[in-house]
Amino acid sequence: MPLDQGFLYGYGVFETINIAQGKLIFFADHMERLKQSALVMGLNLTSHPDQIQSDCQKIIKKNEIKRGGLRVTLSKGLKVDNLLITARENHYDRQMFEQGVKICTNNAVRNEKSRLVTIKSNNYLENLLILNEAKARGFSEAIFYNTQGYLAEGCMTNLFLIKNGTVYTPARDCGLLAGIVRNRVIQLLKANHIAIEEGHYTSDQLLAADEVFITNSLMEIMPVNQVDEGRYGIGPETLTARIEALFQQTWGLK
């Protein structure tokens, strides 16, 4: 393992799967994305999803995990590609949802034409460096713009804006990894006749938004109370809270 190209060059892909009440959330979605990422990266995923799921369940049982996350990593090996499953905590809690989080924009530019931008690859160093800089300034996340000046994504999250009852999220061609929860939220909004648009959005539109929330597999839906110096509405009466309630009613195991 230490000499494989995943370790040496970050040549690999991974999925972080939410565990709630000891159950794997959106497992099939994650396996489909892992398979597609492996194809793009020239990796050979030989383990069947049923076997991976069985191995995940063994780790959950052995470690008595009720709430947390599993990372499934596929990396380029010398002769065969390596699959590694590791467990982690989920530090996003209800108090964070009720208070909302502060996020910031950053000066780094997301290259929407990069081969890696749509892949959840092991090469996460730029994201981590920018995220660490944001955290040092008191923020929980940092948002990228792309080379055209449009909003793209966060270091670890997808971005949603709400204005006058309509939800907006950057389109895939803005240069983003389409998260599992992002895609499920879009599906949920359409099913519940809540207006949702995917498009190209500017800093002015971000500043003018009524509400902002971010998503990833472990946090699911997280309200944002501040972006840079701008403040946004949070609380039980917001559309974000309604969307989160619908999400939990449909798929939640909290």
73 forms beta bridges with: 14, 84
Strands 101-110 and 12-20, sheet pairing: unpaired
Question: Is there a single domain that holds both residue 125 and residue 51?
Answer: no
**181: closest CA among 13, 18, 12, 14?**
18
**38: closest CA among 71, 5, 75?**
75
> Which run of H or E residues covers position 185?
helix 180-191
Residue 3 banded pLDDT, cuts 50, 70, 90: low
Q: What is the mean pLDDT of the segment spanning 8-20?
A: 93
Tell me the one-letter amino acid at 110: R
The CA distances from residue 197 to 29, 85, 169, in Å, are: 22, 36, 6
Question: Is there a single domain that holds both residue 145 and residue 198?
Answer: yes
Q: Report the phi/psi class of residue 116: left, alpha or beta, with left for phi > 0 and alpha for psi in -120 to 50.
A: alpha
Question: Is there a single domain that holds both residue 144 and residue 68?
Answer: no
Q: Which of 88, 115, 148 is the last residue of a domain?
A: 88
Question: Is there a single domain that holds both residue 100 and residue 68?
Answer: no
Question: Is there a single domain that holds both residue 134 and residue 163?
Answer: yes
Question: Is there a single domain that holds both residue 131 and residue 148?
Answer: yes
Q: Which domain holds residue 74?
A: 5-88
Question: Is there a single domain that holds both residue 46 and residue 132?
Answer: no
70-89 burial: b if 16+ Cβ within 10 Å, else e: bebbbbbbeeebbbebeeee
Helix (H, G, I), strand (E, B) or coil at 130: helix
Question: Is there a single domain that holds both residue 113 and residue 181?
Answer: yes
Render pLDDT for 16-52 as a digit per residue (tens, 0 to 9). 999 999 999 999 999 999 999 999 999 999 999 999 9
Residue 73 banded pLDDT, cuts 50, 70, 90: very high
Q: Which of 88, 123, 151 is the last residue of a domain?
A: 88
Render pLDDT for 100-139 as a digit per residue (tens, 0 to 9). 999 999 999 999 999 889 999 998 899 999 999 999 999 9
**Contact, 200 vs 150, CB < 8 A?**
yes
